[in-house]
Amino acid sequence: MNVLKTIDLEEFGEKYSGKVRDYYIVGDKRILITTDRISAFDRILGHIPYKGQILNLLSAFWFEKTNDIIDNHMISVPDPNVMIGKNAQPIPIEMVVRGYITGVTGTSIWGSYEKGERVIYGIQFPEGLRKNQKLSQPIITPTTKAEVGHDERLTREEIIEKNIVAKDIWEQMEDAALAIFQRGSEICEEKDLILVDTKYEFGLHNGKVIVIDEIHTPDSSRFWKKDTYEQRFSQGQEPENFDKEFLRIWFKEHGYTGDGEPPTMPDDFIMQVSKRYQDVYEILTGEKLVIDEKENIEERIRKNLAVWKK
């Protein structure tokens, strides 16, 4: 399978790596390479063909759709797997916005609700909710941003009282997250999709709050098929989805939720995951994903980044 696991671009200096992206800092810009690594339960679990370019191009699509709400880090997209971004100082909080109660991870609100908790992330939840039910309004459930180990839950009060970020910055992040989620929900609905929940990351650039990382991709968001949701929900079935939940469920069914050695994904399952990523890209953008299975991805990236050399 033709996948981009990582890339070493020595000509750009020191390489930094997150769970999915490798990046280089060149002056006041970041060269962000989105690889085909896939993570869940805060662990890298393997590689999915074409995933990197889907995330990168889909993020570019959404940055353009939401830049009237708040500025973002995107400067240009010189390669399907590469984005040139402003070198912002990341704010160490993941803004998770949820429109439905669902999930299988330790930080999901359904996992806590099912155990009997009714105050989750500092938010009071009513009795009688069912898995995959729509909430009365979208909520923000922030977590720490962990490059290593598990993300940890936060509450709005903790963030402000501990001054994790200044109150005025936090309020800007809150307002922007809810507004972007609303915009995303409206665009998804036009495409017969439900934007279930998502995460946003913010940074400071020249003292200004901007959106960084990615927006509304299958890695950072859940998408359900709108036309079958009500029937499947009423029958207690899982919604039809186009996101990483499919992968999380597979690992959970194979006894893995983040600790120990993960099972190896079989090739046919890897291609099923890849197909879901491709489908959601094409549904949202209305464009066919351009794929060259024989292309050397690293050579293409080096060629397209030649003009950005120091």
Q: Express each pLDDT in 128-142 by its tens digit.
A: 999 999 999 999 999
What CA–CA distance (Å, rounded) separates 40 from 138? Answer: 23
Residue 107 has what pLDDT?
Answer: 65
State the Cα–Cα distance between residues 58 and 9, nearest whole angstrom.
24
Q: What is the pLDDT of residue 149?
A: 53
Q: The pTM is what?
A: 0.93
The torsion region of residue 165 among left (phi > 0), alpha (psi -120 to 50) and beta comes to: beta
The alpha carbon dihedral of 111, 117, 121, 126 has a sign of positive
Which class is 10-308 in CATH? alpha beta
Question: Rounded distance, CA 285 to CA 177, Å?
Answer: 21
DSSP-derived pairing of the beta strands 221-225 and 16-17: unpaired
* pLDDT value, residue 150: 61
Residue 228: the pLDDT is: 97
CB 199: neighbour CB atoms within 10 A?
23
Q: Which regions in the chain score pLDDT beneath 50?
A: 148
- Strands (E) in 87-242, as ranges, are 89-101, 119-120, 123-124, 133-140, 143-144, 193-205, 208-212, 221-225
At 195 the pLDDT is 97
Cα→Cα distances 99→83, 186, 217, 291, Å: 29, 13, 16, 33
Q: What is the pLDDT of residue 134?
A: 98
Largest CA distance in the chain: 59
Q: Give pLDDT, residue 292.
A: 83
Q: Where are the domains of the chain?
A: 10-308
Q: Which burial class, exposed, middle or buried, applies to 56 when counting CB atoms under 10 A from its CB (0-12, 13-18, 19+)?
A: buried
pLDDT of residue 41: 85
Task: Decide if 273 contacts 38 (C-beta within 8 A).
Answer: yes
Model confidence over 218-246: pLDDT tens digits? 999 999 999 999 999 999 999 998 878 88
Distance CA 280, CA 275 (A): 9
SS3 122: coil
Residues 119, 160 contacting (CB under 8 angstroms)? no
CA 252 centroid distance within chain: 20
CA 17 remoteness from chain centre: 16
Q: Do 156 and 140 contact (CB within 8 A), yes or no? A: yes
